[in-house]
Structure 1
Amino acid sequence: MAGGWSKDGDVHEQIESTVQDELERARSHLPQGESLTHCEECGEAIPQARRDAVPGVRLCIACQRELDKQQSAISGYNRRGSKDSQLR
């Protein structure tokens, strides 16, 4: 159902675009390459089990947890110009 001046399907397209943007952002943050043996932030050893579970891992669990906290502060809303996102 369209609302205001929008065409049918516009809301669905905005939702799909937002989901695709978030997937691309998440994929761009996945580790790549060979896992490090020591954390690049604090220098602590990264356990072999973590290196096996997460190929390309670069941070120990504590540093990764801190990074995840910082990144979760990023608001996930549609940035494509919807009225709702302009009001935030």
Structure 2
Amino acid sequence: MKIRLEIGIRGERDEFSNTFTRDFLEKNGLISLGVRYFQNEEVILWAAQTKYGFLISKDYRDVLTYLGHGIWDLKPYKAAKSEDDDNPW
């Protein structure tokens, strides 16, 4: 049985890494860069091949869309602002 990514499939990066093997994703343009540490926080980085070159995904909630031929669209996750963030005091 041949597994393939359908054009237009969309999901969070975590969904792809939990569904498909690392080798399969790397053959299709989504490359694991491993664990790195930023500001004393452990982050798992992935590089997505886009039509503009490689973009780095550092949040497991980043949204990826497969465009075909090993090309991805990456939308970085942005946390919603809480009401306290707007309060200058």
Flag whether TM exceeds 0.5 (same fold): no
Larger-gyration structure (1/2): 1
TM-score normalised by the chain length of structure 2 = 0.23
More strand by share: 2
Q: Which has the higher contact order (CA 8 A, sep 6+)?
A: 2
More helix by share: 1
TM-score normalised by the chain length of structure 1 = 0.23
